Amino acid sequence: MAVVDSLDTSDVKSVENTEEGILGSERFWYAIDRQLLGSGLRLVLILPAFSILTSFGALAFSSNSPQWWGNIEPTLNMSFAMVLTSLTFIILLGYILAQVFHRHRVELSIGNFEAEVERLNKKHLSVQSLHGYESLAALLESVRAKHSWALSFGIMSSLLLGGIFVFDIASLNGRILLLLSFSTLALSLGQHIPTRSRPFNMDERTGLLNAYTPPIHPSTLEMVFDDLVKTHMDPLLRSEYEVYSKEIETCFQPKVDPQFAREKILMTLYRHSKGLDYKTMESELSEVLTEKGMELVQNHSVFTMEEWLSIIHHIERSCPAFFRMIGRIEEDLGAGRSSTSANIVFEVDMENVVHERANLFTLIHNLSETPRNVVLRVQSPDFRPHDLAMTYRLNPGERRWWSSKALPLAAEGDEDVLGLMSGLLRDGTVAWQSLLPERFGEATVSVRLEEQSGDLIIGRQINVRVRTKYLDRIRNFSSVSASLIGILGISVGIFIKVSAIFGNIGA
């Protein structure tokens, strides 16, 4: 029995060492890719750009070399066009090498992604069942295929260019090979450029966030910060977060509401990302966490402080309207300003510049001692849905979640901005609506809070601009243009060769 146990332990250790070796390999290649290949120096873009310039130079001087080259040509025994062709060939080899390294790093990332999914499945955390997994897996496979095509076209371009050394660039066949080489290189770029819009890696815990597209989210948020975090996390990180949430719930202080504690933890981490000092953050967290919980937050193997800062920064970039909205409420609480009206808190915000979809956030909180029914109505001729109405029953609120006197950002107890804001998010009603633009340019959205009879309580009108993402538009245009140029170049090369065969063009 002891022998079996030792074998099992050794097998587990060998698997862990293998996985760690793969991860270490990705860390090495990702460092190179980030500094030289995909980012940083961007050799996968610079090298083909230089090769295109030298190709045009070789074509321009295919018939006659420049005069100053007459003194050099006898020594090298090569025309100026052939020297430029040789230089182009060397640059293409460098481009192919860069694509090989870049594709290898992508393969390692996808391999680590699949290994991580398998590891979580063995822990009975089924990642495949989470909403958004299939779209993420499809994206990774699509990127893998595009890199394979980009590398294949790059190799084909170098082989066609190598044929010029057999036929000579001054001949018709040589010029056709140069055209075909340039065209296949354009096709290679057309396949590579789209992969740059949503980069990913598995070296960093948050390396999949930019590649992940959040699915449809709840329209009314139960625990606001918690729902935002889970919506924007990729399936792997979300599975780990579910385990983390259960662990942290066992470390709450006695008599502390679990929902309030989770919201306050995330709110405090957000304020820490905006400049709240570490000592004050620890003091605020200790109000809801035991010593074991503090140790878990500070030294967790997955959700370290650095990872939380990356996650919060990603959410802040995705939903700036929400953080701008709670920022205004925090300013009102800190300055001791009165609420929107005597008995209700109502705030609304939306992005100033809308791209693919607009995120409209509203917060409603009943400060009175009696329940009331209200209707939240969103109307816009520029977004879908054009008219949206939701009825909410607002339970009696707690007046302590608003204060008429100025409050510090953080202090002992919950009578501070962090405490009131966490309670307001927990007991208030936060709606998150995704509005789809129908046209580009100026757009307006009207948000009304009404009684069920239709009488207006509070209204807001928001003016925004609908635009496409500039970088995405440039990438899409560049990709389509490169592909069209490549197809056109190959077609022209075939047409010229066919015409020459039938005697319309002399060789």
In the chain, where are the structural domains located? 18-203+473-501, 214-317, 319-467
CA dist., res. 438 & res. 428, Å (int)? 31
Enter the pTM of the model: 0.83
Beta-carbon contacts of residue 485 (< 8 Å; ≥ 6 apart): 183, 186
β-strand 353-354 against 456-466: which pairing, if any?
parallel
Beta-carbon contacts of residue 279 (< 8 Å; ≥ 6 apart): none
CATH superfamily placement of domain 319-467: Immunoglobulins (2.60.40.10)
pLDDT in tens, 299-357: 888 898 889 999 999 999 999 999 999 888 888 877 767 666 667 888 899 999 988 88
pLDDT at 21: 55
With a cut of 50, which residues of the chain have pLDDT below it? Answer: 1-19, 23, 505-507
pLDDT in tens, 376-434: 999 999 998 899 899 998 887 655 566 667 777 777 666 777 777 887 887 788 899 98
Class of residue 445 by CB neighbours under 10 A (exposed 0-12, middle 13-18, buried 19+): buried
Q: Which residues of 115-142 are buried (b: 16+ CB within 10 A; e: fewer)?
A: bbbeebeeeebebeebebbeebbebbee
Closest-CA residue to 225 (of 433, 421, 435): 421
pLDDT at 398: 57
pLDDT at 403: 67
Distances (CA, A) of 476 to 247, 371, 453, 486: 44, 52, 49, 15
pLDDT at 260: 84
pLDDT at 167: 84
For the chain, percent of residues with pLDDT exceeding 70: 90
456: helix, strand or coil: strand
Q: What token pair was written down for 345?
A: 């808190």
Peptide bond just before 385 cis, omega within 30 deg: yes
β-strand 344-349 against 441-451: which pairing, if any?
unpaired
